[in-house]
Amino acid sequence: MHLVQRVAAVVLTLGFSAGLVGCDFHLKGTNQYVTPLVYTKLNLQLPKNTDDLESKLSVYLTASGVQLGNSSDAYVLRVLDYKPIRHELNGQLIETLLRLSVTFQIEDQQGHAITEPRTLTASRSYQYDVATVNTDDQQEKYLKQVIIDDIAQQISRQISANRLPKAQHLLNPAPQTAQ
């Protein structure tokens, strides 16, 4: 084979490959953004005053292929604990640290845990000078939304990647006793 024919073969191969990738072709089971079949239907159960997290979770989970609703065959994504924390360090500049900690698990329709509880944390900090124009409230409001968005993305990624550890009772079932 001559050099020109080899180069032409390589160019054609790369062109066809790029064409397949461009039209979103992938081998079955290799799409990293598709949720495992186990969790394709979820019902969200969150504590009160977590509307922002619920709306962000709805967006990210739906985008990853999860159907949200109260169907009888849906698993339950339950947020067990939601803790926003605000620390303020005073000095010439005031530094504020915002932290959000969320614990969640997936349960079946009867409320039995399918996964172990998982705690995720996100934090952001900002500084401001009280002698200047006060933008503390605006920064805090914005960063709270960023933190909630970060937590929602983390939960969605872990569900999509099926990285949640199974509940202990599923790994070590109780032995059957003969009667």
Predicted structure pTM score? 0.72
- pLDDT tens per residue, range 135-145: 667 888 899 99
Strand arrangement of the beta sheet that strand 94-107 belongs to: 67-68, 41-45, 75-89, 94-107, 118-128
Give CA–CA dist 42/71, Å, rounded. 8
Domain boundaries, the chain: 37-167
Tell me the CATH number for domain 37-167.
Answer: 3.30.160.150
pLDDT tens sequence across 16-47: 777 766 666 555 544 444 445 578 899 999 99
pLDDT digits (tens, 9 = 90+) for 155-179: 999 888 877 888 777 666 655 555 5
Q: Smallest Cα–Cα separation from 82: which of 98, 56, 102?
A: 102
pLDDT, position 169: 72
Residue 162 region by backbone torsions, left for phi larger than 0, else alpha for psi between -120 and 50, else beta? left
Who wins on pLDDT, 1 or 29?
Answer: 1
CA gap 141, 125 in Å, rounded: 12
Q: What pLDDT digit, counting tens, does each position of 52-85 carry?
A: 999 999 999 999 888 998 888 899 999 999 999 9
